[in-house]
């Protein structure tokens, strides 16, 4: 078995472990939140977050401390994971039937797996669109956690991908902020000639390539076609825009990225940008504050961003942005459901939202009024405006698709980055997987 085959097998195993475990639980009854249930402010509440990085981890610890000041008999078990580790940890907890009381979830098929397996509490009675709590959220963020017309998740923040760039380096080299993909490629050529890496890219964990692909796909494939292809039962993956987008990604890699991306971690790529060893880095808005601050070589005044530019002749939605809200679910097996809901209400208050949105966290709150522009990074404020004005948020390919199709995207794109598959071969592998799942 070659390296790519081994990687594909590993991704397949991980994805199927989650899907199998969820299906195994499907025989259980749906658990619905009771809005009149009394809250017992005692015992231990377990929470799995995606705030495990060094600069994010204090957020939940501080929120927990503040909650305990109000309810001193409540204790907490915090499981703090990162982008790279949360998927594996979730699969392990699902497989061992030990999901914490509150757990992080993406939208799309990833979240739906918990719904389908009756692993998540139906929160509609407490957070549905007509409830007092539900009215406090940005409607689109709340809607993203709705499946089968029921609310199963609590959105915490909004997220999207942008190209961060070093304004000083651009100015020194006479480069204007690119307006098209072709201009970005030309800028990369100029930066390369100076001896610097244009874009740092770490794809060791496979998912970073998915974000590039997703943005280019929505530019090249009509949204209606993409959404049809998200469902294996209706998927075809025949639109020529798929190959076009992946070909553009390959050219972007060849002209803008160096070294061996599949051997570099995502965090190493961030560090290269923050250390001014690269001129650009494709990042989530959540990472703006971490990329440039008083402790990094790249200072905030030299940090700029732009949406990954649209290629000439694009036939998809040119006003779309890659991104999705992210949030939390309550485990259906929790013995502390009323307490878990009470804590999530505290977590999603305007006051906590303003802390979350401001530096050093810089994560745009999904709560209406949950941000104070005067206390926030100006780039985060501008990025939030871009998200609000986007015509469509392109979901992450590895969470919106069926687990097996997501695994095919991850493996195929990593093979594309490594040079062992062509754009056409990647699309064929995804198509064949979708046919096997849907057929």
Q: Which fold has domain 161-322+397-438?
A: D-Maltodextrin-Binding Protein; domain 2 (3.40.190)
Whole-angstrom Cα distance, residue 368 to residue 355? Answer: 14
> 180: which strand partners?
310
Which of 158, 140, 87 has its CA nearest to residue 323? 158
Q: Is-contact 166 290, C-beta < 8 A?
A: no
Burial class (CB in 10 A: 0-12, 13-18, 19+), 71: middle
* 162 φ, ψ (degrees, to nearest 5): -140, 155
Domain assignments of the chain as residue spans, ordered by start: 31-158+324-370, 161-322+397-438
Q: In the prediction, which pLDDT does 14 show?
A: 44
Residue 18 tokens, joined: 């989650």
Which of 323, 295, 17, 311 has its CA nearest to residue 159? 323
DSSP 166: E
Whole-angstrom Cα distance, residue 338 to residue 322? Answer: 35
Q: Which fold has domain 31-158+324-370?
A: D-Maltodextrin-Binding Protein; domain 2 (3.40.190)
Mean pLDDT by 10 residues, the chain (439 residues): 38 42 52 97 98 94 98 98 93 95 96 96 97 96 95 97 98 98 98 97 96 98 97 97 98 94 94 98 95 96 98 97 96 98 98 96 95 94 94 95 96 98 98 95
Placement of tokens 């949360």 in the chain: 86
* 2 φ, ψ (degrees, to nearest 5): -80, 175
Q: In the prediction, which pLDDT does 149 show?
A: 96
Whole-angstrom Cα distance, residue 210 to residue 215? Answer: 9
Which of 51, 101, 46, 55 has its CA nearest to residue 81? 51
Whole-angstrom Cα distance, residue 42 to residue 45? Answer: 9
Whole-angstrom Cα distance, residue 41 to residue 61? Answer: 18
Mode of pairing for the β-strands spanning 102-105 and 326-330: antiparallel
Q: Is the pTM of this model over 0.85?
A: yes
| Secondary structure in 3-state letters for 35-93 | CCCCCCCCEEEEEEECCCCCCCHHHHHHHHHHHHHHCCCEEEEEEECCCCCHHHHHHHH
């Amino acid at each position: 078995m070659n390296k790519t085959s081994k990687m594909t097998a590993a991704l397949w195993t991980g994805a199927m472990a989650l899907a199998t475990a969820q299906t195994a639980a499907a025989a259980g009854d749906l658990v619905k939140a009771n809005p009149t249930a009394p809250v017992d402010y005692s015992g231990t509440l377990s929470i799995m977050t995606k705030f495990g990085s060094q600069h994010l981890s204090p957020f939940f610890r501080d929120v927990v401390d503040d909650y305990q000041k109000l309810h001193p008999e409540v204790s907490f078990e915090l499981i703090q994971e990162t982008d790279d580790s949360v998927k594996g940890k979730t699969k392990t907890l699902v497989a061992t039937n030990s999901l914490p009381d509150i757990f992080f979830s993406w939208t799309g098929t990833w979240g739906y797996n918990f719904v389908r397996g009756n692993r998540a509490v139906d929160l509609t009675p407490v957070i549905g669109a007509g409830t007092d709590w539900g009215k406090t959220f940005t409607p689109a963020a709340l809607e993203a956690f709705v499946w089968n017309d029921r609310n199963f998740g609590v959105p915490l923040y909004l997220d999207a991908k942008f190209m961060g760039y070093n304004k000083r380096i651009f100015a020194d080299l006479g480069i204007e902020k690119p307006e098209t993909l072709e201009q970005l490629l030309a800028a990369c050529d100029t930066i390369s000639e100076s001896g610097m890496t244009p874009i740092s890219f770490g794809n060791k964990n496979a998912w970073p390539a998915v974000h590039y692909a997703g943005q280019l796909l929505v530019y090249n494939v009509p949204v209606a076609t993409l959404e049809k292809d998200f469902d294996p039962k209706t998927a075809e993956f025949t639109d020529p825009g798929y190959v076009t987008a992946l070909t553009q990604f390959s050219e972007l890699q060849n002209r803008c990225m160096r070294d061996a991306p599949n051997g570099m971690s995502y965090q190493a790529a961030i560090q290269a940008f923050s250390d001014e060893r690269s001129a650009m880095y494709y990042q989530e808005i959540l990472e703006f504050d971490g990329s440039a601050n008083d402790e990094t070589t790249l200072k905030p005044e030299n940090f700029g961003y732009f949406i990954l530019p649209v290629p000439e002749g694009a036939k998809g939605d040119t006003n779309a942005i890659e991104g999705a809200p992210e949030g939390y679910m309550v485990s259906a097996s929790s013995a502390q459901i009323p307490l878990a809901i009470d804590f999530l209400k505290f977590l999603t208050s305007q006051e906590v939202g303003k802390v979350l949105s401001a530096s050093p966290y810089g994560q745009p709150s999904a709560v209406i009024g949950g941000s104070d522009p005067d206390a926030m990074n100006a780039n985060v404020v501008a990025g939030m405006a871009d998200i609000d004005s986007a015509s469509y948020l392109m979901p992450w390919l590895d969470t919106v698709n069926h687990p097996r199709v997501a695994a095919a995207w991850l493996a195929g794109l990593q093979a594309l980055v490594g040079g062992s598959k062509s754009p056409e071969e990647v699309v064929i592998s995804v198509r064949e997987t979708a046919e096997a799942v849907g057929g």
